[in-house]
Structures are given as C-alpha cells and as structure tokens.
Amino acid sequence: MIRLKTLTLRRGTKVLLNRVELTLQPGSKTGIVGANGAGKSSFFALLRDEIHADEGDLEMPPRVAIAHVAQETPALPCSALDYVLDGDLELRKIEAEINAIAHDDNDGMAHGELFARLDAIDGYTAPARAAKLLAGLGFSLEENSKPVSSFSGGWRMRLNLAQALMCRSDLLLLDEPTNHLDLETVVWLEDWLKTYPGMLLIISHDRDFLDSTIKQILHVDNAQLTIYTGTYEDFENQCAERLAQQSQAFDKQQRQIAHLESFITRFKAKASKAKQAQSRVKALEKMEKIAAAHVDSPFNFSFREPDSSPNPLVHLEKAAAGYSADNPILSELNLSIDNSARLGLLGVNGAGKSTFIRALAGEQDLLSGIRTEGKGLKIGYFAQHQLEYLRIDESPLWHMQKIDPNTREQEHRNFLGGFNFHGAMALGPIAPFSGGEKARLALALLIWQKPNLLLLDEPTNHLDIEMREALTFALQDFDGALIVVSHDRHILRATVDDFWLIEDGRVAPFDGDLDDYTRYSQEKRSGDKSAANAVVNASQPSTNVNRKEQKRLEAEARQKLANARKPLEKDLARIDAEMARITAEQATITTTLTDETLYLPERKDALQKILASELKLKEKLAEREAAWMVVSDQIDNLVV
C-alpha cells in the first residue's frame, strides 16, 4: 500500500501537490492524467525517492522493488539481450556471487545455496524470458545479439522498456510508454500489462491504452490528486458531473456573496443596522470560496479553409521510395490522393509509413517513377523531426510573423491563444518549451497556412489529452484531404474513413477497421500468415491495362462524382446556414429568459410567447438536423 498524508510538494516556487491525501492499494492498476506541467512526472520522482516532500508524509512498504523506464540509454557495447537481463537486479547479483566463488572448490555449500536461489527466482529461464520480451517489442532474433550502441534512439527506448518489464518488481512506473511504439507493439504491451501482478502506475495521454490496462484514474489538477474508478471514459463522465455540481455550488455561492455585499453596502453607514452589517462582513470572510469550474479546454482552434481544392492532389506513377535504388523500401506505387481522402496508414515500424508520407510531401526524392502535383496543392506536413527547425531563440509570435508578415500582430496573438500561448509565453523565446509545447507551436504554424492536404506523422506524441481532443475536433472539421500515421487509436477512429496497409514494400487498401487490423497483426505475429492475408484487400491493378486509357477513365469517374456531389453539397451548405440562423435565434431567447422581470405575473403572456417560440425553434432545428443527415448520407453513398 502507498499512502500520501497531508503531503505538499514544490518545485521551485510552484506548488505541485498541496496537502494531498491518497491511498493506493496493492495490485491496483492506475492511470495518471493531467495537463503537461501538472506534476505527474514529479509524482513518479517522489515515489522513486529522487525528490522529497516539503510537508507531510509518504508511506511505502519497506524494501519495495520499483521498476521504471530509464529516459537515457548510453551507447553500451553489451548485447541487447544482456542489457534487458540487467533489469533483473537479483539475478545479476546472484550471478556475480556465483562467478566470485567459481574457482573455490572448497565451498560446495555456498555453491549449492547460490544455485538454489537462482532456481527460486526462475533464473535458468531468464534469457528465454528476456528474448520473449524483445520479440514482443519488435526485435528480431538476430538483433538480440547486437550491441546496444548500434540501435537508434527510438529502439533504445524500447530496450529500456524491456529492461523495466524484466525487473521482478512490486511497483511498475511507466511514463508515456507508447510514445516510441507502433500500433502492433502497443497492443502487445497492453496484453503483457494485463498479466502484471504488482501495482501499476501509468502516465499516458493515450485513452485507448489506458482503458485496456487500468482500473482507475488518478487526476492531477490544481495541485490536488483525485481518484476516479473505472476507465478513462468513466473518468470523463464522473469529472463532468462533479464539475457541473461544482459550477452550480459556485453560482449559488456568488448569489449569496452578492446578497451579503449588497446588504453591507446599503446598511453599514446606518447605526441601527451596523451590528447586522458587521455580522455579514464576518460571514463573508468565513465563507469558503469555491473555485469556478474550469470545464473549458485551454485550446480552441480550427483549420482555416483552403484557398483551392485540386483533384487529385498528388499522383504517384510507377514510383519507388527509400534510400537505395538497389533496395527500395517501397516500390510499384501507382496511386492518387483525392481531395476527399481521409486515410490512416497501418504497418509495423520500419515498413515504410514515414517514407510514404515523405514521398507524398515531396520531402524525399523518389528513387524512380513520377510524382505529379495538382494545381494549387498546399501540403501541411507534420513530423517530430520538424520540431528541430524551430528557432529556439525566437518567440511563437516571431514564427507566425515569419510565415505571414502581412497579418496584424493582434490577429497572430489571438490565433496563438487558441493553442494556449498567451502573454509572455507568446512573446518570449521557445528555448524553455517542453516537447509538447513545441509540437503545439509546430501544429499552429502548419494550420495557419491553410493546407488542402494534411500529412501527419505521429502528431500526438508529447501532446496531453486536452490538446489531443482539441486536435481531434479540428481534424473532424478539416475541409481537405488527410493522411495520418499514429499509434493513438482514438484519433484514428475519430478522424479517418479508410485505412491503407504498408507491408512488404507495397501500399494497398486494408479491408477492415482497427479491430480487424489488430487481429491481423496478432495472427502474423503468431505465424499464421495465410489466415492473416485473407483480411487484406491486396488486389493490384492489372499491368495489362493500357495506362493512358486507365487515366482517362479515372478522370471521367472523378468528374462524374464531382457533378453528382455538387448539388448535394449546395443543399448541405444551405441547411448548415439555416441551422446556424436557428441556433443564433435560440441564443437570443436564452439571453432573454435570464431577465428576472420576465417572470413577474403581469408579464405572463410575454413569457408564454417566448417559450412557444423557443419550442418552435427546437422543432425546426430537429427537422433541419434530420435533413442534414439525409443529404450527408446521400453524399457518403455516392458511387461512380
């Protein structure tokens, strides 16, 4: 059991935890959420005894074994397998003791005791268990013997994760464990964590991952820790209900305060009322101030409407991509990206998802073939390496003015405010920014430029849940083509319509959803490739078709589809405008109904007319919403 008793934790002048009370039971599985900078990682450092409480107590069982993922990996010469085995400290200790007396033939009893201890901790199977962890995290058998120094940064983070899982711990601390993993490995990790017997604490902004691995949510907010039982969705519902109640209490309290202040103002100068006024001053001082419920996200932005929408946006013909013409990563790419495409890319790490994105973006020259851009193409390309192009000595406002010097400063500052860059943060250098803050800035710069083709390569890494939700809503309303690479299943489900699978050097439509792909990838891992292949629509265009005739037929099909869509889209825009007008009228009535004089007996007829108008507007809005759904379905069902 872990207990925090009236515990206060500060970092510098900032109070991260303020007199908190918390109890975590043995074997509990807890997801830790909260805004970036709220103190989640500092809470882990507190548990690992790296920092200490300023006030109060932290109670933990003695000799508790804690495992966590190291954030740095030196370029070690030892093999990947040995590095993972180093995670089992007791195993290494026993092995060292055995080696120390290996040549002492006179101490047979000590030998026997050590080998008995080795057997008790299942030490003889440790190499096999370590190899299984490496396989689950995507390492091949040949890579087990490679030195740690030969792996890239992302794969070294996987080695750190494997080392933490190898540790026979009582408490496992995972801080954003999915950031360097592909979707297949995230699913494997979920299955592994379900069988973990100890106490599990996970900091993560991946809601699907949390829902698969935890039983409760610990919310870090306003220097307090609050436990919510259930999944992340349960947490959202419970939190919304609590905030609604808090908001009602706050509103009620404000009315009480206003009444007291009014009494004090009116009567404190009158001798006959002075005593009563003074009692109300004391009541006002003693009244516990309930903080207003901050239910609104700090992020509020949307994509600007593109200036044009060519169709197709990008076309690849007989293209090959990669780094070597002799050994391309992708080949035989014959495809077009239409202006209505909303695609999620699937495939294991190394299959070529990022290579494909760069080929579409024109960031990487093709090894062969032709890349054709539609007239007016404007690409918005986001990848983690692009954060390196930000000028750390300059401000967010400077970056905005650099890409658009003709817009007024206030308009730029208002836009940056939607990404929670306010005041000094918008005007100061970005050098002290966290990875999440830099990613937010990069996204802001991309969105401002009004792209008609969005290419997003792991856009949610380092973003907290509030920002992920804001980005998801913005992408849902984006009026352009969208292609996403992400291990965040929530954002994929919410923003894309179709999936393409990148595998064995080919790009092909995937006939299924994310659940189908999970089953497919698990079947492939288990070696049942023939069964897995049945899920994939791997059909390729016939090489016998005359290419010129095929292009003509494709152009005719696109034109026919556009002609069919145009009147329906016009109807949809008209219905949208009507719904906006009705909503505006409803807002006016809502404001009118806040007038307290409207509820006086002499204004009964006026109130009834207003309420009748409100009812009619609700009926009209429901009718228009139904019409919108009908037209929207007609557009979605168009087939040419």
pLDDT in tens, 583-611: 788 878 877 877 778 778 888 888 888 88
Side-chain-facing half-sphere of 286: CA atoms under 13 Å: 6
Amino acid 482: pLDDT: 92
Give the DSSP H/E element, type plus range, for residue 517: helix 514-525
pLDDT for residue 282: 53
Q: Which residue did the predictor score with more confidence, 354 or 265?
A: 354
pLDDT in tens, 223-266: 889 888 888 888 877 776 776 666 666 666 666 566 566 656 65
What letter does residue 49 receive in the DSSP assignment?
Answer: T
Q: Where are the beta strands (DSSP E) in 222-302?
A: 224-229
Average pLDDT, the chain: 81
What percent helix, strand, coil does the chain show, rounded to 5?
Answer: 50, 15, 35
Strand order through the sheet with 330-337: 330-337, 314-321, 368-373
Q: Are 77 and 148 in contact (CB under 8 A)?
A: yes
Measure Cα distances from 90 to 76, 131, 168, 498, 610 in Å: 21, 18, 9, 49, 76
What is the secondary structure of 95-139 as a DSSP string? HHHHHHTTT-TT-HHHHHHHHHHHHHTTGGGHHHHHHHHHHHTT-
What's the confidence (pLDDT) of residue 543? 38
3-state secondary structure at position 303: coil
Whole-model pTM: value is: 0.65
CA angle (442 as vertex; 438, 443 as ends), nearest 5: 115
User: In terms of residues, how long is the chain?
Assistant: 640
Q: Are strands 29-33 and 199-203 parallel, antiparallel or unpaired?
A: parallel
Q: How far is CA 31 from the centre of its chain?
A: 14
Residue 297 has pLDDT above 70, yes or no: no
Count of Cβ atoms closer than 10 Å to residue 544 Cβ: 5
Going by C-beta distance under 8 Å and a sequence separation of 6 or more, which residues neighbour residue 613? Answer: 589
Element (H, E) at 410: helix 409-417
pLDDT of amino acid 584: 80
User: What is the tens place of the pLDDT at every residue in 34-44?
Assistant: 877 788 888 99
Which H/E stretch holds residue 355?
helix 353-361
Give tens-digit pLDDT for 488-542.
Answer: 888 888 888 889 999 989 999 988 888 888 888 877 766 543 433 443 344 333 3
**Once rounded to an integer, what is the mean pLDDT over residues 351-373?**
90
Q: At 23, give phi and psi (nearest 5°).
A: -130, 125
Answer yes or no: are the C-beta atoms of 322 and 352 closer than 8 Å: yes
- Buried b / exposed e over 80-111, threshold 16 CB at 10 Å, is bbbbbbbbbeebeebbebbeeeeeeeeeeeee
At residue 528, the pLDDT reads: 42
With a cut of 90, say whether residue 140 has pLDDT above it. Answer: no
Mapped onto helix, strand or coil, the DSSP state of residue 504 is: coil
515-525 pLDDT, tens digit each: 888 888 877 76
Q: How far is CA 52 from CA 11, 39, 42, 124, 397, in A?
A: 10, 13, 10, 38, 38
Kindly give the pairing relationship between strand 379-382 and strand 506-510: unpaired
Residue of 292, 279, 281, 222 lying closest to 253 (CA atoms)? 292
* Residue closest to 336 by CA, chosen among 483, 497, 486: 483
